[in-house]
Structure 1
């Protein structure tokens, strides 16, 4: 009969054994791998926050030559808001499942200091060919605003849903054109009283120096006209850029905070008046002749041009909070199948950070690398055998 194996009485300290175990435990590591949204239970940003997002959408305007064309400006105030979409792209499911084309005007006196009638028109939203030297894209999305004889024609797109509650919104964009306009990217929740409006915005004033950016958790003023300085952070573009150059602008709306980035560099963070409730997403290019926009010279124009839009988000709508996504969250502040759109080598396509549902024992380390772990009993046996302690 074979004698039982025994542990030799060798002088090995507990601290030495712990050191050996810690060295042996991570047996394999791998870079995050490309996946698709159907495999992602949630999304995590690269900002070290604890906020998880359940959904992801990416809109790519860089290779849409089949839809490209610059429509003539509609000169008639009555006809402009009711104009048809400028191409079939804006009637397709990809677009209409998420976005709407704005067609409202400022006749309701929303801004008391407006001196010019402003009308949003679908005609001012179009796909345009990129004719610059050495272009970084074939095409891009354009939002146009122009001063006409009798009114300011403008452009706005807004999300079909008003139920976003926390998100990370990004656009690759630039602003070009004449002074007297605003281009913007923001979340918005309207209210009857100014003090109850919830809005987090990036605004570019074309009358400003070309490196100046305005970030605000609205309202930035009171009914009496007093400025609320805590609501706004004004800063310059990083790296010597100005807003006429292509740059990636990003807003992270997380509980109690809005954080703004340009080309992955954080440029502003505002806790005061951070949005609290469900909101929608808006991009626009506009002017009303008021103090904030300035008065654009007749027939001058300005443009917000966008190569792509990306958003990871949470929504209170039942369709967004699907049972699949809710089940795949665990109860310890984590996510069973976690993805990232920041670490991906392919824009718009997520990478899988970890999927505990598909591979038990997998986790992500602090550097975002996937690490495989084996049961501690097996590690202990391996260590003891390798050191001659188990015979």
Structure 2
């Protein structure tokens, strides 16, 4: 079994159709669209699931970057190449190595260097930080993004940017944020053109652990201010479950509004002003620059952003008006903490020693399916349309990828 973040890519054989979990399907038919159950029933033609809960033989956590780090951040790879741009992890994510400079007006009080060494896989057994006994029972690992401040004038940070580009979608992650005051964890869409003015954000500030008992989250359609005036598009929401605890956060970027969810799928709020437009990328980061909004990490402190899984269904500019012949429900039920990692070694695929999948067993009960199929779906301006037609005229080419923690199987389907 492959234990590095290498990805086995294949068109699934017919025998895989019994594994409803793997294909996100219902009634034995493969999905070509995925529908949400949110404030509107939007459908999407592309699907990604990245699962970091069952990764084995995880190397040692990378050492903190010293204050004299290389300007590009490339001299400090993560876990000896376990996670870096040369692995298949890099086919889907760019690990950024830019620098936030200290500002003359002190809005950034210290320089912050993004580095590969701050993006790594953490095993539960080796974790000794805050809330160490709080990992879900089925998780033995998670993805970590880290920020630290080794020096008065220098901090390190982390950022992942998707290589997939999309227009509208539903984005979710299960995770938590731990650490002292002074850091920000972000999960957001960012447009290729004029991104600062076309951005939908979920942001968690570690200072809210001290000031709000970890019960506050920040939602924004950027920009939050225009010419120094509050735009009215940056809102706070109170959580039922502290962000120190594992939970699912979600935002649905639609043409008419951005909707935000947390606390077991509760709709927290909607922002209908300044809705982002244009081709965008999904971005995840953990940073600290000492600005007034985040406050500062003390020298020697660090904060971490832990992610169990990321789920992402979306359209592209090429597929936004595609026709769907078999639509599956994303939220019937939600992924939750217990489902995808259950199709681990024996239930997903065997490897023949060359990192290529061989026969996929068909013993998984189809009743385990996460999604149910529907043949009739309401349409919206940012959704793919649904159809009960069959044949080439209703066929959609869909890139559906699933990362499975044990061996990180990526199944790419083309219907």
- Corresponding residue number in structure 2 for 1:250: 250
Q: Secondary structure at the match of 1:97?
A: helix
Does the 8 Å contact 1:189/1:198 carry over to 2?
A: yes
Give, in angstroms, the shift of residue 222 of structure 1: 2.2
Q: Secondary structure at the match of 2:101?
A: coil
Does the 8 Å contact 1:44/1:53 carry over to 2?
A: yes
Q: Give 5+ residue unaligned stretches, structure 2.
A: 1-19, 126-131, 342-368, 376-387, 392-415
- Partner deviation per Cα, 1:30-63 (whole Å, 9 max, x = no partner): xxx6561692221100125142100100010001
| Whole-angstrom CA distance in 2 between matches of 1:279 and 1:222 | 21
How does the TM-score come out when normalised to structure 2? Answer: 0.68
- Mean Cα deviation higher: 130-139 or 303-312: 130-139
- Corresponding residue number in structure 2 for 1:377: none
Does the 8 Å contact 1:147/1:301 carry over to 2?
A: yes
- Corresponding residue number in structure 1 for 2:290: 289
Q: Give 5+ residue unaligned stretches, structure 1.
A: 1-32, 330-334, 360-391
> Is 1:170 aligned with 2:162?
no
Equivalent of 1:85, from 78, 83, 100?
Answer: 78
Query: For 1:268-279, what aligned pairs fall within 5 Å after superposition?
Result: 268-279=269-280
> Is 1:36 aligned with 2:23?
yes
Superposed CA RMSD = 2.9
Q: Secondary structure at the match of 2:226?
A: coil
- Corresponding residue number in structure 1 for 2:328: 339
| Whole-angstrom CA distance in 2 between matches of 1:188 and 1:300 | 29
| Whole-angstrom CA distance in 1 between matches of 2:222 and 2:160 | 19
- Corresponding residue number in structure 2 for 1:133: 133
Instruction: Tell me: CA distance 1:211–1:126, structure 2 relative to 1, closer, same or farther (3 Å).
Output: same
Q: Secondary structure at the match of 1:158?
A: strand
| Whole-angstrom CA distance in 1 between matches of 2:311 and 2:104 | 30
Equivalent of 1:156, from 156, 159, 163?
Answer: 159
Give, in angstroms, the shift of residue 191 of structure 1: 5.3
Instruction: Tell me: CA distance 1:340–1:112, structure 2 relative to 1, closer, same or farther (3 Å).
Output: farther
> Is 1:312 aligned with 2:313?
yes
Instruction: Tell me: CA distance 1:234–1:111, structure 2 relative to 1, closer, same or farther (3 Å).
Output: farther
Equivalent of 1:119, from 84, 102, 113?
Answer: 113
Larger RCO, structures 1/2 (Cα 8 Å, 6+ apart): 2
- Corresponding residue number in structure 1 for 2:259: 259
- Corresponding residue number in structure 1 for 2:371: 351
Instruction: Tell me: CA distance 1:70–1:110, structure 2 relative to 1, closer, same or farther (3 Å).
Output: farther
- Partner deviation per Cα, 1:303-337 (whole Å, 9 max, x = no partner): 11001011001122x5xx49xx93xx1xxxxx321
- Corresponding residue number in structure 1 for 2:207: 207
Give, in angstroms, the shift of residue 350 of structure 1: 5.2
Q: Secondary structure at the match of 1:164?
A: coil
| Whole-angstrom CA distance in 2 between matches of 1:256 and 1:111 | 37
| Whole-angstrom CA distance in 1 between matches of 2:204 and 2:180 | 12
| Whole-angstrom CA distance in 2 between matches of 1:92 and 1:58 | 21
Does the 8 Å contact 2:102/2:108 carry over to 1?
A: no
- Partner deviation per Cα, 1:105-129 (whole Å, 9 max, x = no partner): 0139699711100110010000001
Give, in angstroms, the shift of residue 190 of structure 1: 5.7
| Whole-angstrom CA distance in 2 between matches of 1:94 and 1:342 | 28
Instruction: Tell me: CA distance 1:115–1:133, structure 2 relative to 1, closer, same or farther (3 Å).
Output: closer
Instruction: Tell me: CA distance 1:215–1:110, structure 2 relative to 1, closer, same or farther (3 Å).
Output: farther
How does the TM-score come out when normalised to structure 1? Answer: 0.72
| Whole-angstrom CA distance in 2 between matches of 1:103 and 1:111 | 24
- Corresponding residue number in structure 2 for 1:298: 299
Paired positions, count: 309
Instruction: Tell me: CA distance 1:63–1:91, structure 2 relative to 1, closer, same or farther (3 Å).
Output: farther
Q: Secondary structure at the match of 1:65?
A: coil
Does the 8 Å contact 2:173/2:307 carry over to 1?
A: yes
